[in-house]
Amino acid sequence: MATKPSSFVAEQTHCCEFKTTLFLSLPIFLNLPINLSKHLLFPVPAFPWFGMDIGGTLVKLVYFEPKDITAEEEQEEVENLKSIRHYLTSNVAYGDTGIRDVHLELKNLTMCGRKGNLHFIRFPTQDMLGFIQMGRDKNFSSLHTTLCATGGGAYKFEDDFRTIANLELQKLDELDCLIQGLLYVDSVGFNGHPKCYFFENPSDPESENCVKRACCLDNPFPMLLVNIGSGVSVLAVYSKDNYKRVTGTSLGGGTFLGLCCLLTGCETFEEALEMAAKGDSSNVDKLVKDIYGGDYERFGLQGSAVASSFGHMMSKEKRVSISKEDLARATLVTITNNIGSIARMCAVNEKIERVVFVGNFLRINTVSTKLLAYAMDFWSKGQLKALFLEHEGYFGAVGAFLELLRTTDDL
Amino acid sequence: MAAESERVDRSSHSMDKSITLPPNEIFRNLENAKRFAIDIGGSLTKLAYYSTVQHKVAKVRSFDHTAKDTEDDPLYEISMQEEILARLHFIKFENAYIETCLDFIKDHLVNTDTKVIKATGGGAHKFKDLIEKKLKLRVDKEDEMTCLIKGCNFVLRNIPHEAFVYVKHADSEFRFQNTHPDIFPYLLINIGSGVSIIKVESEDTFERVGGSSIGGGTFWGLGALLTKTKRFDELLQLASKGQHTSVDMLVKDIYGGSYGSLGLTGDLIASSFGKSATADKEFSKEDMAKSLLHMISNDIGQLACLYARLHNLTRVYFGGFFIRGHPVTMHTITYSINFFTKGEVQALFLRHEGYLGTIGAFLKGAEEDNPNQYSWGENYAGSSGLMSTSPDLNPMQRARSGTFDMLEMDRLERQLVNLPLLQDPSSYVPDTVDLSEDALAREYWLYCFEEALDGVVKRAVASQPDLPEAAERAEKFRHKYLHKLQTLRHQPFAYGSLTVRSLLDTREHCLNEFNFPDPYSKIKQRENDMALKYFQKAVKSLEELSWEQRQFALVRGLLAGNVFDWGAKAVSDVLESDPEFGFEQAKRQLEERPWLVDAYDQWLERLKGPPHKCALFFVDNSGIDIILGVFPFVRELLCRGTEVVLASNSSPALNDVTNNELQILTERIAAMDSVIRSAVKEDRLTLVQSGSSSPCLDLSRLDKVLAGVVRERHTDLVIIEGMGRAIHTNYYAMLSCESLKMAVIKNSWLADRLGGKLFSVVFKYEVPPDKKHTTLDHVPVTPS
């Protein structure tokens, strides 16, 4: 089914309101005109520079922290803008649910002639209204900054932004943003390292030989881009601005977490992954050997291949004796293998050999990344290669942020 | 994977010995049974065997007329003979009954030298010892997938209307498909506990191109965990009542509406179970089951589409226990396929899907008999037909659990093929009205056949005056046919599309079942006798007419002859009450020109042109029709220099003339008439069997010999006569040569429908577009 790409829940639990403590120390922003850069002759947008991707489960925010502020600027910088900067850059958690992924920070970027660092922040979409209310309380609209937003939430919350906080969103297509963001981040590298990686010896995901290896996405086209958020979108990307959405599936990160919550009573993605890491899916899934006693040679199926996900759970005896960890693992494996299978078929149909997996489902999820690497390699007999990116879920937000700069170019 | 899920529930293992089987109705013909095969799935067992059935056939044999030809001697003698017919029996029952069934079979298996039983299915190994002990047969396991494909090929090839499209909200949910002359290549998606995707390219070439572990077992296993509901059927029930939108995250939950630029509507599922992660509220069992059903169906549909596209296939059949007779899953799979292929691929389902494994296993064991060299036909009398397991569709569902489902296939004596003159065999539909889609027509015809039943029973008894138990058998026939009609009233899709043809054929099958092979034999004999006496006179009076008068008289004669039809109620009433109703009277009954459908002028114009090379004539009734209507017409064609092939039924149906009878009649006419005599001698007049024993005509299932003759002789004219063959069927059939379709409408309801009245005439003369110039450009020649 259709899919909403891009976001994935990370830390969610209670139906709590957005805590205004998130940006508690943010001062009232004051009006700030578009500043003519000292370094360049064309206008750049007013600070603060944000890009936002409002997904089904998670809001992703990138924030550019200028590091080349001159003394003159420092003086001109209104007090509250300064405190935004300090607040965002000196904390790693905001309120109960906002988190800055410090390890992803991109340092010493030059954007629109300005040097600075790019910060990556996320919080649950269910706290979105709280965020907007905070924007109103803090009179965010007085900053006259353009708020570039993508993801479904840019549409869903547009009215709320306008009526509650008097803010106009610049809505951007999420797939455009995803690709632009990905290509940009790839082009700048990861603080001097390549930001792309793959697995060596993927055919043996359990062994120590299966290790992460950095690589470059030189000459990235064509690529099959699989974005695993709440749902999954599969894109065939032929150039910077030539791509198509090949298909999507509703069996994505949201399904993993949703089912895990129902089956195990867990509450967060981290918790679900932690359980999955300890579980054994072969207690839940029916394998080929469970049916045929060994390999199904007639069709070259290994005995260890999964014949029926959750197939053992048809039996009452096995249902009552199963552990939560096993269930969590089986859910993770089922969803991951299915995505791998669809991705592989799309790659073959589109005649693309490089498959790039992104999205927050892959965050801290080595079980899935290794499994995807294995699935691509095994079923294609080594023809397909799975690639991953460190900034998994943030490309949409980066794309929106880039659009902010571009938009101002056009002024 | 192919394996059906194995239910480990103790309950399904306990043998229910208390059931009493109505033996003769289920395991029929066990006395001569051989070649057993069994397919044991998770909950159902399917047993197959081959047997021979002795049944009566009516034979006609010519008397020696050379010695003396007295007025009172009948033309030929009729005898009842025993004939051996090969029949395949397939029986499906719940695993709980397996022991009882095996006991029953053992007790009734007498004349067999069979040593082996072919077995397939996930449960085969579990019951291996039991089968070997009970039946004293060695269990020989066959590969499941191979059996499945063999079975699939067999049903697709031999059962018209095997495949259907499921349309939930239509008047008829089951849209049956034409049998494509070439069944390959196709994709079979078998949804058992997992999913196997198999590409089939020929009888022996197939490949498992892919699969998925998310299948019926996932629905069942995960569903049981989420809802604490044990049974698969109950899970489906829950799902059919639920609302997935409370559990799934939809596009509109993320976007607030649709995602316009990608054309994704707001109601699409963005993330299955996406809402169950973001709220700690309770979800109802129904809603979770529904969400799960959507998730799995959509996923399978998506994979099926990806594989169909990769292999460039458009025929995609679905089977396996997840699908088997469940409208809920057929609907969700259909929906998914439509969504992902934007309607380019249709999800196809099979009427006998549950039998594929056992059919295949049986065929594996019967390879030495070359079953694939023959054509087979579904015996409607002995087959249960497709039952819906949906309680909404079938209120009898509860009662059905624990019953036995049967399929019987008769080996046909002749191999059946397409008429080579069909313009497009793949789009040819024999039947004019699909009664499953036309509720009014269905009501009428079911009523009509019920009304006519008394008469049929009466004639059946009358046809066997020497057999005292005939009356009892006739009552059994009545009971059986009435039951079939009732079934069809509730489930018009039971045997494929319901048509007048299928109702007639079912009646013939039921008559044969109770050894009434030819209730009209004596009537036909009498009428043939009578009509022959007028033949010479009729020919003489025709010869006295001018050419143009004669052409018209021939057509009228043909039409008048066709009024004599015991199949039509209006006529059989008149005939029964007034046996003197004669040929001349019939002519007077005919509608005056212009007829309801009147292409006579074009036909006459055509006759002024060059003669046809060869005419294929599908004849209808015995007696006046064939002798005074058809033969004079044929005689004229022969005189014009056109060769004629007369195609008649292989076995009896109503008062239709059979090939057997026609041979005798032709001999007799040849003895009287030099034109016919020399034509027979010079092979310009040929008799062939149609391969059919129906009062209607399916041009896609005709005797292979007929097809050969048609090709060899460069047939350029097809004549189809009678209501059954030219109106109930083939009225819209498009042929690649000229054709004449002629009939008198002897049913007031049908006449009404077609805008005419009783005894209205249909005279359809058609020329295919690409042949038109030859008839338009001809230089008229004045006939002698």
- Asked if the C-beta of A340 comes within 8 angstroms of chain B's C-beta atoms, the answer is no
Give the per-residue pLDDT at B363. 92
Is residue A12 domain-resident?
no
What is the per-residue pLDDT for B400?
41
Q: What is the pLDDT of residue B388?
A: 53
- Classify residue A304: in a domain, yes or no: yes
Whole-number percent of chain B with pLDDT over 90: 58
- Tell me: do A274 and A366 sit in the same domain: yes
- Rounded to two decimals, the pTM is 0.86
Same structural domain for residues B175 and B128?
no
In this prediction, residue A32 has a pLDDT band, given cuts at 50, 70 and 90, of very low
Say which CATH number the domain at A267 has. Answer: 3.30.420.40
What distance in Å separates the CA atoms of residue B575 and residue B581, rounded to the nearest whole number? Answer: 7
Compute the nearest-CA separation of A19 from chain B (Å). Answer: 17
Q: Tokens 């013939």, residue?
A: B508
Whole-number pLDDT of residue A134: 83
Instruction: Note whether A241 and A364 are same-domain residues.
Output: yes
Residues B428 and B292 in one domain: no
Most confident of B5-14, B123-132, B490-499, B641-650: B641-650
Say what the pLDDT of residue B23 is: 54
Q: Is the Cβ pair B339, A267 closer than 8 Å?
A: no
pLDDT higher than threshold 90 for residue B543: yes
Q: Rounded distance, CA B308 to CA B345, Å?
A: 8
At residue A231, the pLDDT reads 96
- Residue type present at position B432: T
Q: Is the same domain home to B309 and B438? A: no
B631 at A interface, C-beta within 8 A: no
In a domain, B599, yes or no: yes
Specify the pLDDT at position B30.
79
Inter-chain contact A230–B5, Cβ cutoff 8 Å? Answer: no
User: Which of residues B464, B495, B514 is at a domain's end?
Assistant: B514
Would you call A251 and B247 a contact, using CB atoms and an 8 Å cutoff? no
* A 216-235 residues inside an 8 A Cβ radius of B: 229-231
Nearest-Cα residue of chain A relative to residue B247 = A258
Same domain, A76 and A164: yes
- Same domain? For B196 and B309 the reply is yes
Tell whether A265 lies on the interface with B, counting CB pairs under 8 A: no
CA-based nearest distance B308→chain A, Å: 10
Is B648 found in the same domain as B605?
yes
Per-residue DSSP letters for A45-74?
A: PPSPEEEEEE-SSEEEEEEEEES---HHHH
Is residue B532 included in any domain, yes or no? no
Pairing of strands A223-228, A232-239: antiparallel
Residue B260: inside a domain, yes or no? no
B126 vs A contacts (CB less than 8 Å): none
Cβ separation of A12 and B277 shorter than 8 Å?
A: yes
Per the prediction, chain B carries an average pLDDT of 86
Residue B255 at interface with chain A, using a CB cutoff of 8 Å:
yes
Same domain, A154 and A94: yes
**CB-based contact A20:B289 (threshold 8 Å):** no
pLDDT band at A81 (very low <50, low <70, confident <90, very high): confident
Is pLDDT above 90 for B298? yes
Residues B336 and B384 in one domain: no
Q: Is A385 on the interface with B (CB under 8 A)?
A: no
B406 and B331, same structural domain? no
Note whether residue B528 is domain-resident: no
| Same structural domain, A141 and A258 | no
Rg (CA), chain B: 29
Average pLDDT over residues A157-186: 93
What are phi and psi for residue A190, nearest 5 degrees? -115, 80
Nearest CA in chain B to A346: B306
pLDDT at A14: 35
Residue B208 pLDDT exceeds 50: yes
**What pLDDT, in 10s, does the model give residues B728-770?**
999 999 999 999 999 999 888 989 988 998 889 999 999 998 8
The string of pLDDT tens digits covering residues B712-731 is: 999 999 999 999 999 999 99
pLDDT of residue B522: 86
Catalytically active residues of A, by annotation: 174
Note whether B649 and B741 are same-domain residues.
Answer: yes
Same domain, B220 and B307: yes
Nearest to B361 by CA among B42, B88, B7, B5: B88
Residue B390 in this model has a pLDDT that exceeds 50? no
Q: How far apart are CA B614 and CA B283, in angstroms?
A: 73
What is the distance between the alpha carbons of residues B212 and A309, in angstroms, rounded to a whole number? 9
Tally of CA atoms within 13 A in the half-sphere of A139 that contains its CB: 10
Residues A108 and A173 in one domain: yes
At B196 the three-state DSSP class reads strand
Residue A29, pLDDT > 50, answer no
The answer to whether B726 touches B753, Cβ cutoff 8 Å, is: no
Name the region of B582 (left: φ>0; alpha: ψ -120 to 50; beta: rest).
Answer: beta
Task: Tell me which residue has tokens 């019939």.
Answer: B586
Same domain, A257 and A350: yes
Is pLDDT at A198 greater than 70 in this prediction? yes
The answer on pLDDT for B168 being more than 60 is yes
Q: What gap in Å lies between CA B148 and CA B168, rounded to an integer?
A: 27
pLDDT band for position B581 (cuts 50, 70, 90): low
Say yes or no: A77 and A160 in one domain. yes
Are residue B583 and residue B467 in the same domain, yes or no?
no
The per-residue pLDDT for B565 is: 65
Q: What is the DSSP code string of B534-546?
A: HHHHHHHHHHTS-
Residues A90-106: what's their mean pLDDT? 91
Phi, psi of B375 (to 5 degrees): -100, 145
Task: Indicate if the pLDDT at residue B568 is higher than 70.
Answer: no
Q: Residue A21 pLDDT more than 80?
A: no
Residues A376 and A259 in one domain: yes
Do A338 and A381 fall into the same domain?
yes
Interface of A with B in 98-157 (CB under 8 A): 124, 126, 151-153, 155-157
Of A251, A310, A316, the CB nearest to B272: A251
Residues B399, B391: contact at Cβ < 8 Å? Answer: no
Q: Do B271 and A327 touch (CB under 8 A)?
A: no
In a domain, A2, yes or no: no
For the ranges A321-335, B131-145, B704-718, which has the lowest average pLDDT?
B131-145
Contact A342, A373 (CB under 8 A): no
Starting at the edge strand that comes first in sequence, how are the strands of the sheet with B76-94 ordered? B138-141, B116-120, B34-40, B44-62, B76-94, B405-411, B376-378
Helical axes B547-562 vs B521-543, angle rounded to 10°: 170
Domain total in chain A: 3
Q: How confident is the model at residue B566 (pLDDT cuts 50, 70, 90)?
A: low
**Same domain (yes/no): B708, B758:** yes
The mean pLDDT value for A329-342 works out to 97
- Determine the pLDDT at residue B279: 57
CATH number at residue B435: 1.20.1700.10
Is B230 a member of any domain?
yes
Are B306 and A349 a contacting pair at CB < 8 A?
yes
Q: Say which CATH number the domain at B720 has.
A: 3.40.50.10880
Q: How many CA atoms lie within 13 A of A299 on its CB side?
A: 23
pLDDT of residue A221: 92
> Does A297 have pLDDT greater than 50?
yes
Q: Are A222 and A235 in contact (CB under 8 A)?
A: no
Q: Note the pLDDT of residue B776.
A: 45
Q: Closest approach of chain B CAs to the CA of A207, in angstroms? A: 24
Contact B274/A at CB under 8 A:
yes
Among residues A399, A370, A382, A291, which one has the least CA distance to residue A52? A399
Characterize the bridge pairing of strands B761-766 and B597-598: parallel
pLDDT at residue number B675:
97
CB contact under 8 A, B268 and A2: yes
At residue B478, the pLDDT reads: 96
Q: Is B554 helix (H, G, I), strand (E, B) or coil?
A: helix
Radius of gyration of chain A (CA): 23
Overall average pLDDT of the A105-112 stretch? 92
Q: For B670-739, what is the HEC assignment?
A: HHHCHHHHHHHHCCCEEEEECCCCCCCCCCCCEEHHHHHHHHHCCCCEEEEECHHHHHHECCCCCECCEE
Q: Which residues contact B776 (CB under 8 A, 6 or more apart)?
A: none
Residue B164 pLDDT > 50: yes
Strand partners, B416: B703
Shared domain for B112 and B181, answered yes or no, is: no
Q: Are residues A169 and A243 in the same domain?
A: no
**pLDDT-based confidence at B641, cuts 50/70/90?**
very high
Closest CA to B636 of B743, B507, B504, B538: B538
**pLDDT band at residue A411, thresholds of 50, 70 and 90?**
very low
With a CB cutoff of 8 Å and minimum separation 6, the contacts of B463 are B470, B516, B518, B519, B520, B521, B522
| Alpha carbon distance A343, B61 (integer Å) | 71
pLDDT at B36 over 70: yes
Identify the CA nearest to B414 among candidates B179, B160, B702.
B702
Q: Per-residue b/e over A147-183, b at no fewer than 16 CB within 10 Å? A: bbbbbbbbbbbbebbeebbebebebbbbbbbbbbbbb
Quick one: pLDDT at residue B20? 52
**Residue A39 covered by a domain:** no
Partner A contacted by B399 (CB < 8 A): no
Q: Is the pLDDT of residue A226 over 50?
A: yes
- Contact status of A297 with chain B (Cβ, < 8 Å): no
d(CA A193, CA A390): 11
Burial letters A26-57, b for 16+ CB under 10 A, else e: bbebeebeeeeeeeeeeebbbbbbbbbbbbbb
Check B279 against A346: CB less than 8 A apart. no
pLDDT of residue B24: 60
Which comes out higher in pLDDT, residue B219 or B123?
A: B219
Q: Kindly tell me if the per-residue pLDDT of A123 is higher than 70.
A: yes
What percentage of chain B exceeds 70 in pLDDT? Answer: 88
Of residues A104, A141, A160, the one with CA closest to residue A391: A104
The full DSSP string for A96-138 is TTEEE-GGGPEEEEEETTEEEEEEEEEEEGGGHHHHHHHHHHT
**Segment of B120-129, B586-595, B667-676 carrying the highest mean pLDDT:** B667-676
More confident residue, A145 or B194: B194
Q: Based on the domain organization, do A248 and A338 belong to the same domain?
A: yes
Least confident of A128-137, B271-280, B568-577: B568-577
Q: What is the pLDDT of residue A139?
A: 77
Cβ neighbourhood burial of B269 (10 Å; 0-12, 13-18, 19+): buried
Give the model's pLDDT for residue B185.
95
Distance CA(A360)–CA(B284), nearest Å, equals 29
Quick one: angle between helices B327-341 and B285-310, nearest 10? 50
Rounded to a whole number, what is the distance in Å from the CA of B256 to chain A's nearest CA? 4
CA distance B81 to B83: 6
CA distance to partner chain A, nearest, from residue B224 (Å) = 7
The total domain count for chain B is 4
Q: How many CB atoms lie within 10 A of CB B783?
A: 15
Q: What is the largest CA-CA distance in chain A?
A: 77
With CB atoms and an 8 Å threshold, state whether B1 touches A314: no
Q: Which pLDDT score, from 0 to 100, does residue B263 have?
A: 82
Range of the domain at B481: 420-514
ipTM over 0.85: yes
Which residue, among A250, A267, A270, A379, would best test binding to B if mutated, counting the most B CBs under 10 Å from its CB? Answer: A250
Helix/strand/coil (H/E/C) assignment for every residue in A147-205: EEEECHHHHHCHHHHHHHHCCCEEEECHHHHHHHHHHHHHHHCECCECCEEEEECCCCC
In this structure, what CATH number is given to the domain that contains residue B287?
Answer: 3.30.420.40
Q: How confident is the model at residue B596 (pLDDT cuts 50, 70, 90)?
A: very high
Domain of A292 in residue numbering reads as 285-318
